[in-house]
Structure 1
């Protein structure tokens, strides 16, 4: 069975965390002085990640997993715009995607739906032996790991109670290869 190629995205207007299908993470940042052009910058970078693997260079992306937006924040409108623009790009590429609510991702990673950034980082170090440059990359990696686990190909073992949290996610059908 081929391992699904999962792209994890922790979307933000200021610093978007990305976990590529090979597990490499990075963060791309935007500058407020560029206004709404920041949204285009994010969409272009997501498009580049989706394009990798087309035309025989690599294997492409089978599924994108996005951390759902926090709707009770002052940035809800802006992050909603980012989410909408990115989802349109995913539709352009005919790439299925899943949304994982922040509390579900935290509960999967740590056992607690209200875990803070430090707890997420400690869980990544404990489970995967990984450290990250920032919390955006850490969240993006957890998104990828959660999807791999939900698709039956976990990178490491997780307690059953934490794995059960993934049942709350609406997982799309994934086409591999």
Structure 2
């Protein structure tokens, strides 16, 4: 098979541009969230976002939730440390309950271990209030006996750009020992 120099150079240029685009997405920083309860390796293009106080039910949360949004609003992370008591051995039951609640969206549930912590990852696509399909990843784990849920959302049309980045960030979560 003969390859012309012109086609070879075009291929090299495409590879270089692809690599530089991925490197730009790949710049991350370790971010401490929820009063330094956990940290996550998050892309630098995500910035802290204020959650309206009207959206926070104080009796539900052990610490106020935090959100980080992509600078172009193309994706976000939401961190919730709840008052719900959940031990590691109860995560399977929690994931099954979520699976039942989300059944019409055909969620995929995966049992994981992340940095020595048991976790469940729930992956599904569902329409938002505006009708746009949103791809959601929910990471659930027990931290100090309470339920931690970290949610990553991106519109389905942006999933090819952001889903792998969001999944990789979720899998980097680390519980900080006090």
TM-score range, shorter-chain basis? under 0.3
Higher helix share: 1
Q: Which has the higher contact order (CA 8 A, sep 6+)?
A: 1
Larger Rg: 2
TM-score by length of 1: 0.27
TM-score scaled by length of structure 2 = 0.27
- Tell me which protein shows more strand as a share of its residues: 2
